[in-house]
Amino acid sequence: MKVTLDKIASSTKNARIPREVLLSEEVPAEEGMVLAVRVHGTKTVYNQLEDTHGRMIGLNDGDVIAAVLGSRRALRGYAGAVPETVKVGDKLDILNLGGVIGRCTSTNIELGKPLQAEVLGQVLTFPFLGERQGVPATIRANAVAWSDTLDQSAPIVYVAGTCMNAGKTFACGEIIRFLTRKGYRVCGAKLTGVSLLRDTLSMIDRGAVASLSFNDAGVVSTTDAVSMPVSKGLLNAINKEEPDCLVVELGDGILGEYGVQSILADDELMAPAAAHILCATDPVAAWGAVELFKNRFKRDISLISGPATDNAVGKDFIERQIGVKALNARIEYDQLGAFVEEAVFGTKP
């Protein structure tokens, strides 16, 4: 069956899906497979889809979209998984703005129930010129290779958080903006989370020469099982741009199910770390993060930012009671950039 897609989700980017696609009724129930689905229902919140250009576009009842089978384990979003079997006519759920679909296992009280997606079929691609036999489209196509080892790397500024929506992406952007304006060649990466293009696009918008995410490695949503080889593969790839430094976001929180803990515990990934920036939602989270870094990961947090530093009360507590420098990325962006520059390069260029 041939269908014309109304919208193509950003999570499908690797598969390079055209507007008109051929579908198969045989649907492999595997993460990363690209499906055509029809949207059912309307919502006033969480009713958008990020396309392959990074634009947020509204979803309407009846829209036919290309989406990707995957799982999600978000504290402040939906949780869901790939069903054991998927067939044409099944109703799945749209789990995130990047177009990840699966069976919702837990909703969020602020978002309500997710929009449903009726499976129309498995999208087929034709990778070989003149070949009439299509193959199931997957985001594992054209993916950055995973690696068990990290090659020589430029210095890395790791930006982690106590939770999602703690200000990590904004802090990354301000650091990149400052360093690029000082003449440094900076690249960005997001190593963990669930597929969404806007974070790495934000890095490009702020001046990064290039940026990559786990989605570029053919992964919908990271876990402990894949986060280390995916991260090493991405860092090996981005280092080919010969950057002066890398600004790397660890999506979600330092305690969670996206594999951040495995990365922080890996000595090879941590060896190039020139600074650890931690975005905390509140003073208690800031204190807990420092203790976690010190006791479990045997590492020091260089600086704390995020909502915990939104006014003097939080900053004073962090600096006096916890003993870690605190700077707010939204207000003290130049001071944050200068701190990172000193930590990475020691002297100004």
In whole angstroms, give the CA distance from residue 93 to residue 81. 10
Res 348: pLDDT: 56
Res 130: pLDDT: 65
Res 77: pLDDT: 84
Centre a 10 Å sphere on the Cβ of residue 16 and count the other Cβ atoms it contains.
Answer: 15
247-251-257-259 Cα dihedral, nearest 10 degrees: -20
In whole angstroms, give the CA distance from residue 95 to residue 112. 12
Spacing of C-alpha 92 from chain mean position: 22
Q: Is the dihedral of CA 190, 105, 164, 255 positive or negative?
A: negative
The whole model's pTM is what? 0.94
In whole angstroms, give the CA distance from residue 176 to residue 26. 45
Q: 275: burial class by Cβ within 10 Å (0-12, 13-18, 19+)? A: buried
Res 169: pLDDT: 96
In whole angstroms, give the CA distance from residue 309 to residue 153. 31
Concatenated DSSP letters for 94-132? E-STT-EEEEEEE-BTTTBSPPEEEEEEEEEE--STT--
Concatenated DSSP letters for 19-78? SEEEEES-----TTBEEEEEEE---SSS-EEEBTTS-EEE--TT-EEEEEE--EE-TTS-
| Inter-residue contact 284 to 292 (CB < 8 Å) | no
Res 159: pLDDT: 98
Concatenated DSSP letters for 138-164? BTTTTPPPP-SS--S---EEEEEESST
Res 232: pLDDT: 98
What are the residue ranges spanned by the domains of the chain? Answer: 2-136, 156-345
- Angle in degrees, CA 164, 287, 78, rounded to 5: 20
Res 62: pLDDT: 97
Question: Which CATH number is 156-345 given?
Answer: 3.40.50.300
Res 197: pLDDT: 94
Exposure pattern of 298-327 as b/e (b: 16+ CB <10 Å)?
eeebbbbbbbbbeeeebbebbeeebebbbb
Res 347: pLDDT: 66
| Inter-residue contact 118 to 90 (CB < 8 Å) | yes
Block means of pLDDT (10 residues each) for the chain, 349 residues, are 96 96 96 98 93 96 98 87 96 96 92 95 86 89 97 97 93 98 97 94 97 97 95 98 98 91 97 98 96 96 97 95 96 96 83
